[in-house]
Chain A
Amino acid sequence: MKTEELFNAIRQEAERQRNEFVESPAPKIHIGMATCGIASGAVETRHAFEQALAERHIEARIHTVGCIGHCYAEPVVIIDHPESGFPPIFYHEVTAGKAKMLTKLFLEGGDPRFEHVYGATVENEMIPSVMEFPRFNEEKRVIMEKCGHIDPEDIYDYIAEDGYATLVRAFQLTPEDVVKEVADSGLRGRGGAGFPTGRKWDMARRGGSGEKIVICNADEGDPGAYMDRTLLESNPHQMIEGMILCAYAVGAHRALVYVRAEYPLAVKLVTKAIQQAESLELLGKDILRSGFDLKIEVFQGSGAFVCGEETALIESIEGKRGMPRFRPPYPVEKGLHGQPTVINNVKTLASVPPILKNGADWYRRIGTEKSPGTAIFSVVGDVVHPGLVEIPMGVSLRTLIFDICGGVPNKKAFKSVQIGGPSGGCLPSAFLDTPIDFDSLTQAGAMMGSGGMVVMDEDTCMVDVSRYFIDFTQKESCGKCTFCRIGTPHMLRILDRITQGEGREGDLEQLEQLSRDIKEGSLCGLGKTAPNPVITSLRYFREEYEAHVNEKRCPGKMCRPLTAFYIDLEKCARGCDACVGCCPVDAIFTTSTRKKGIDQSLCVKCGECVVACPPQYDAVEKVSPPKLAPVVERSAK
């Protein structure tokens, strides 16, 4: 009872602040300020708003929020101007200039500038709502529900949205009840492997002697995924609430957030969130007089992909090289300093508060039977609308890539999608109807992994992409297992050779053999999955490998030693110097006819001249193999 009363006081304060904000007649400007927003100029945008508001003596409230996931539209601004009679409006790509213009014309003049409007955030009669876009209505937000709506630096903003209320209610349940609810929900770990979270917690609750520890894995080593970081930057409290629930369920009094040191903003915001929770007694000794203690610390990971693996992560916290240990014993039996340790991914922990709030049955109704709930993907590469997308499990790849993310731009054809980062695989278009869930993806040869998803169009070389991933894993291999340590660089050497046009007969068979051996001879998931990108691309795109080896031709025209640029003299315009000026190595010369030619011995194949050549001429061509490029003499007629 006491706990609830104490919490109600906090909640009333949160609601008071919220009401004061909502009911104030002043317009509200919500600006997305996570890393991607800042990279697109959100700081300048905010500055421009502040300046313009001051100059015009307009009273308005600026509310900095996290990332809504619409990275293609950054900087994203939502303007709520009740007096104008319009609903809250979503604006995209709001540069500093646009911010000044909107201040003047909309906030002062009441004209929302329809040509810049993306949509209204609620249904209404005046402006089409963003909910009509598939990007908004196909998504189902459980983990990211509050991202982009609340200020990550203000705990009251989270509490006003019902934050921490679930925790307070859970204190009335026994820890066993909490474990049972999570187990019943069917939640599976979002760190990649999909291990049932309830089962993990149950083992930790019963097993092991010694003080228990909870670790949140926010290492996020996949070089193409950034959702964990975005969650921490946009709504750190949901993860913290999940951590407290986990600690309460398993009986731990110490917890660590393992977050990359390369994510300075995430480190800062998580640290601040923990301090705020402590100051409201939602963390620390005797949390709101419930009798439960928990201390959360932040440990900064030093950037090694393998440290995302749970036993390597433990080694690194102990101050050693991050080399995986043999399992069993599993961390839930003997983890950090030999104590039972529960390790969960950020998304797993952030799923727990909504599950306990709405119940296991509610969660089970989202997604598929074997993989309930939602998945977050960072869809990037050749798509019209890249960004973070949260969808129910079971949605097909086609819906995700074509409907939600807008498909492949520039009228190019879809070629392949890489799922799961360095451990995952490349799937061709034949697999577009595969439902997205743990088991279907694994069956297809890819894997859920980190949730990184890179879409590639017809101009991508699958051999080069495989080479890229092997290059990554061979660098990140910790060196413990011979096959992983020596096998991956060997695969890289072969792939290097193939992409440079020096592939030999038997290379492909050797790659296959090495892939099998590395998978079998490695201890941890890094080695066991490192060959996946090569295996899948060899299975689905073998003809591309063969073109490289046999014809010295790169069908995607990406491998630079196998391609060449030339200028089509028929199309080239006399007197235009666009390409000459842009070439970084001065490889373009003017022929005696004042048309242009490329000196192949100097050309570094950066492709700048393709961009520079005015579209009405479109004279630069790219070919593979290079011998297809006609020779242009400096004195050509």
Chain B
Amino acid sequence: MDDAILAEEEAMLEDMRSRVSGFEKERGNLIPILQMIQGRHAYLPPEAMDLAAEHLNIPVCEVYGVATFYNQFRFHPPGRHPIKVCLGTACHVKAGDIILENFERKLGITDGETTPDKEFSIERVACVGCCALAPVAVISETVHGKMAPSKVEGLLLRIQIEKEKAERERESGKREGEK
């Protein structure tokens, strides 16, 4: 198990290294480099910061300074189903904070955290551009409009059921294979 994780990390590092070296050594490429890494790996591990600093020949603290300034960058891996609750103006007026609270309560984590099983993470965002459907939540890539506290439970349940179904299918597939 540990070996698998190590191998995965090594592969990730290798991927980052080879791609970062493809960028020109210009300061203006710092944000594109960070965006590229986050685009591929969903977050910025400390190694990413070191790589970027080394490549552009700037202090690591500068890289952290830039990365932490912007809302886009995250420093922890998100869950398999990242949940973004919109708290833009329209969603706020339509009680988006109650939707956020419901997700937090149901999953037992707060805004910015990931569940221990790495299934879900919660994040608050400002306006996803569907204000006419407020309040809005985005799960993975799907936008859910006109949210209500009672819909929260249903959405989470659906993901849970789908996951269990997939697991059952995998199990039975395995058993078939064994036969």
CB-based contact B143/A35 at 8 Å:
yes
Instruction: Output the nearest chain B residue to A316 by Cβ-Cβ distance.
Output: B31
Report the minimal beta-carbon distance from A545 to chain B, rounded to whole angstroms. 18
Q: Does A548 contact B (CB under 8 A)?
A: no
Verify if B1 is at the interface (C-beta below 8 Å from A): no
Chain A, residue nearest B106 (CB): A584
* Cβ distance A498 to chain B, nearest Cβ, rounded Å: 17
| Pair B93/A454 contact, Cβ less than 8 Å | yes
Contact A304 B93 (CB under 8 A): no
**Which residues of B are found within 8 Å of A39, using beta-carbon distances?**
130, 133, 136, 143-145
**A317 at interface by CB-CB < 8 Å:** yes
B33-74 residues with Cβ-Cβ distance < 8 A to A are 34-35, 56, 65-66, 69-73
Report which of A319, A386, A454 forms a contact with B31, defined as CB distance below 8 A.
A319
**Is A217 an interface position by the 8 A CB rule?**
no
Q: How far is the CA of A36 from the CA of B130 in the complex (A)?
A: 5
B148 touches A611 (CB 8 A): yes
Q: How many angstroms between the C-alpha atoms of A230 and B132 in the bound complex?
A: 13
Q: How far is the CA of A497 from the CA of B119 in the complex (A)?
A: 36
Q: Is B30 an interface residue (CB 8 A)?
A: yes
For residue A317, which residues in chain B have a CB less than 8 angstroms away from its CB?
28
Q: Are B133 and A36 in contact (CB under 8 A)?
A: yes
Range, interface on chain A: 35 or more
Complex partner residue of B150 from A38, A226, A382, A608, CB under 8 angstroms: A608
Query: SS class of chain B's interface: helix, strand, loop or mixed?
Result: helix
**Contacts A321-B65, A380-B131; is A262 near B125 (CB within 8 Å)?**
yes
How many whole Å from A132's CB to the nearest CB in chain B? 22
In the complex, chain B residues 120-147 whose Cβ is within 8 Å of any chain A Cβ: 125-134, 136, 143-145
The answer to whether A303 touches B70, judged by C-beta atoms less than 8 angstroms apart, is: yes
How far is A632 from B128 in the complex, measured between Cα atoms in Å? 42
Task: Collect the chain B residues with CB atoms within 8 Å of residue A223's CB.
Answer: 87-89, 126-127
Contact of A322 among B70, B134, B149 (CB under 8 A): B70
With CB as the reference atom, state the residue of chain A lying closest to B99. A606
Q: Does B105 contact A (CB under 8 A)?
A: yes
- The reply to whether the CB of A468 lies closer than 8 angstroms to some CB of chain B is yes
One of A380, A584, A608 near B132 (C-beta < 8 A): A380
Residues of chain A contacted by B95 (CB below 8 angstroms) = 606-607
| B69 touching A38, Cβ below 8 Å | no
Contact of A319 among B29, B73, B105 (CB under 8 A): B29
Q: Are B93 and A35 in contact (CB under 8 A)?
A: no
Check if A72 is an interface residue, CB within 8 A of chain B: yes
Asked if residues B92 and A585 are in contact (CB atoms below 8 Å), the reply is no
Q: Chain A 415-430, CB within 8 Å of chain B: the 1/0 string?
A: 0001001000000000
Contact between B72 and A262 (Cβ–Cβ < 8 Å)?
A: yes
Chain A residues 53 to 67 lying within 8 A of chain B, measured CB to CB, are none
Contact flags (1/0) for A33-45 with B, using CB distance below 8 Å?
Answer: 0011011100000
Which residues of A are found within 8 Å of B65, using beta-carbon distances? 321
Question: Which B residues are in CB contact (< 8 Å) with A316?
Answer: 31, 70
Are the CB atoms of B27 and A318 closer together than 8 Å? yes
- Chain A residues 452 to 509 lying within 8 A of chain B, measured CB to CB, are 452, 454, 456, 460, 465, 468-469, 472, 478
Are A386's CB and B27's CB within 8 A? no
Do the beta carbons of B71 and A224 come within 8 Å of each other? no
> Do B132 and A304 touch across chains, with their CB atoms under 8 A apart?
no
B69 touches A304 (CB 8 A): yes
Is B130 within 8 A of A302, CB to CB?
no
> For the complex, is B159 an interface residue (Cβ under 8 Å from A)?
no
User: Is A302 touching B148 in the complex (CB atoms < 8 A)?
Assistant: no
Give Cα A228 to B19, complex, Å.
Answer: 32
Contact check: which of B73, B93, B102 meets A381 at CB < 8 Å?
B93
For the complex, give the distance between the alpha carbons of A584 and B92 in Å: 20
Tell me whether A418 and B89 are in contact (CB under 8 A). yes
* Chain A residue at smallest Cβ distance from B30: A319
> A303 to chain B: which residues have CB within 8 Å?
70-72
Confirm or deny: A200 has a beta carbon within 8 angstroms of a beta carbon on chain B: no
Residues of A within 8 A of B (CB): 35-36, 38-40, 71-72, 74, 222-226, 229-230, 261-263, 299-300, 302-304, 316-322, 378, 380-382, 386-387, 418, 421, 452, 454, 456, 460, 465, 468-469, 472, 478, 582, 584-585, 604, 606-608, 611-612
Give the 5 A-B CB pairs with smallest separation, nearest first: A224-B89, A71-B132, A302-B70, A39-B143, A223-B126
- 26 pairs of residues in contact across A and B, judged by CB atoms under 8 Å: A38-B143, A71-B130, A226-B127, A300-B35, A302-B72, A304-B69, A316-B31, A316-B70, A319-B29, A319-B66, A320-B27, A322-B69, A322-B70, A378-B131, A380-B89, A382-B93, A386-B131, A452-B89, A465-B93, A469-B89, A582-B149, A584-B105, A585-B105, A606-B102, A607-B149, A608-B148
Add 18 more A-B contacts to A418-B89, A465-B92 (CB < 8 A). A35-B129, A71-B131, A223-B126, A224-B131, A261-B35, A302-B34, A302-B71, A316-B31, A320-B27, A378-B131, A456-B93, A460-B93, A465-B93, A584-B152, A585-B105, A604-B98, A604-B101, A611-B148
